Chain A
Amino acid sequence: MSADLLTLNDVHKSFSRGYRNRVDALQGVSLSVATERPQIITIAGESGSGKSTLGMLALGFLSPDAGELRFRGQEIAGLQGQALREFRHAVQAIFQNPFAAFNPVYPVDHVLRLTLRNFSTGAEQASSELRISDALRAMHLDPAQVLGKYPHQLSGGQLQRVMLARAFLLRPQLIIADEPVSMIDASLRAVVLANMLELKERHGISWLYITHDLSTARQISDTLLILYRGRIVEAGPMERVLDAPQHPYTQLLIQAIPRPDPTQRWQAPLDWQRDEATVAGAAATGGCAFYARCPFRMDRCLEDVPALLATPADTQAACFLHEPGAARPG
């Protein structure tokens, strides 16, 4: 068994919403977070891609329908006692809405103290005030300006950094963050991203950064996985994936992202299949979910999706265009 910190192996998860209405949120997703070298692994996808389901599975909040989910080689579903405690200690979570993460009737200190009380020994608790101040300072927050304040007295950016401090208090090995900056105003977003990067670089904490926003992924990621309708369609080192995308979906996605530069405006309209509505159902059974919009679609894409194939850009893409010997457009 590998000694990886966290592994997902061919994980499937569906949700039923009433009679005959089933959503296949994840359809065979594999990834691993290594123990030795801290990394920021970004899982990027649009709404409905399954990225939040993936986060909930990795946190052990959901169990997979099929496939394996392991923490240090052990099935997460089977963790008990001390092993479960270690998992809950080593893997922390940050969510999208910092305003909803705090109990509004307590000052923000409450959640920090509660976390320490739940996870530390008596001896450690004696120094808890000091540890709380240290964790806040590590996020470049001034304890004097934060402690004793109620959630409504702080900005979304500050609240999210208090949440980072809460996670950091436990010195975890991995933080799973689902859209941690999407509700924060742009001018404060960069600070939270910088804090995330610092936690990796100075404190050796790895991240699963779940986002829809590839522009923020560019700023902090090492590895990038692109998720589309429950499948990883492309994976590789972040720069490779963003600079030389190999899957038609990734290519379209990156072209669609506006650049904050009026001298770099969109020139021609985006090249995509405009008969989307008429063929949307065509790939529903077993074929490639991107068929309806794909500029390079072929008949065989209706029947099957390939596994992740090696691409010339040293990434992997789940697309027949990368089969050995396939004629590759463009």
Chain B
Amino acid sequence: MATMSGQARDSDVVLAVEGLSIHYEMRTATVRAVDGVDFALRDNEVLGLAGESGSGKSTLALGILRLLRAPGRVVAGSVHFGATDLLALDEAALRELRWRQFAYIPQGSMSALNPVMRLQAQFADTLTAHGERMSRAAMHARFADVLQGVGLEADLLPRFPHELSGGMRQRVCIAMALLLGPRLIIADEPTSALDVISQRVVLETLAAARKAIDASMLLIGHDMALLAQVTDRLGIMYAGRLVEMGETGTLFRDARHPYSRRLIASVPDVRARGVLHSEAMDSEPQWPLDEPLREVAPGHFVRPWGGGDGL
């Protein structure tokens, strides 16, 4: 049987996650936020991870980035960035990789900008914190270049964050994430705090900027319509597990797992009135999650739930 982790040894894999489990261990209970997740992100690929609140998708991102805080803890599995075992790195080595090799764009990252520093000073900080030394003129040229990459002008550099709209601030954060030309971008709901128009502008910007530097991207979100727009492949998370993964087109056309089907069917389309079902499932259906993922077609993995077709 082909497994997804088997791909991890392919040379074009940028990020390989195998059997990753992350628990929040509290005095009275243990929450298995992420439970045996496997996937491989290929070079120059945009992989989406979709899930609703509590599915474990953000915890997964934090685990990969080694940004988990107690009581969250990786209890099993491995994360490889190229040939490097991320979970085994010491802090100094990790620091070398962060930003230079992989960048993180969290939800509402625009509020992480320092309100009392001009943008150029924050850009300069990012460079020096990661050991880049260059002349002022070279720095300015670099900043202007990354700002242009997100559709902004260099004349914003002397401005303060409050002088920019939310969408512009989020684009500044993207520019900052791309400042050192990372190979991997992990973006967790990068547009969720924005208005619809800014959301499209920011997501288009992020997609184009990623393409320009040939980076790979893990895009985490709950909005299936946004994920449909920009991802190559899509994984569906439910209760800490991947229940299905495949090409984005395949999943939207031919999702197999009942949870994936429900998630995709529930997204309203502004162009068409769908069928609304008022008969809700009062008790959330529970699907067995312990069977290993099965490859039902090349690259299309489904977790058997005891339904039809041997799944």
Contacts and interface: CB of A to CB of B under 8 A. Distances in A.
Contacts of B52: 185-187
Contacts, number: 150
A155 interface: yes
Interface residues of A, number: 54
Contacts of B264: 260
A21 to B, nearest CB: 13
B262 A187 contact: yes
B268 interface: yes
A188 B280 contact: yes
A218 B268 contact: yes
Interface in B222-266: 222-226, 228-230, 248-249, 252, 259, 262-264, 266
Interface in A180-238: 185-191, 193-195, 197-198, 212-216, 218-220
Given A214-B270, A219-B274, A185 B222 contact: yes
Most buried by A among B151, B196, B259, B269: B196
Contact of B263 (A186, A262, A293): A186
Contact of A259 (B164, B168, B228, B263): B228
B248 A262 contact: yes
B277 A215 contact: no
Given A187-B262, A269-B204, A194 B197 contact: no
A219 B276 CA distance: 8
Contact of A191 (B165, B204, B225, B280): B280
Interface in B191-228: 195-197, 199-201, 203-204, 208, 222-226, 228
11 contacts: A186-B52, A188-B266, A189-B268, A195-B278, A218-B270, A218-B273, A252-B197, A256-B197, A258-B228, A261-B269, A277-B156
Given A186-B224, A256-B200, A256-B201, 18 more contacts: A47-B195, A141-B282, A155-B284, A185-B53, A186-B52, A186-B223, A187-B259, A189-B266, A189-B268, A190-B276, A190-B277, A191-B276, A213-B268, A218-B271, A256-B197, A259-B225, A259-B270, A262-B228
Interface of B: 52-53, 151, 156, 164-165, 168, 195-197, 199-201, 203-204, 208, 222-226, 228-230, 248-249, 252, 259, 262-264, 266-274, 276-280, 282-284
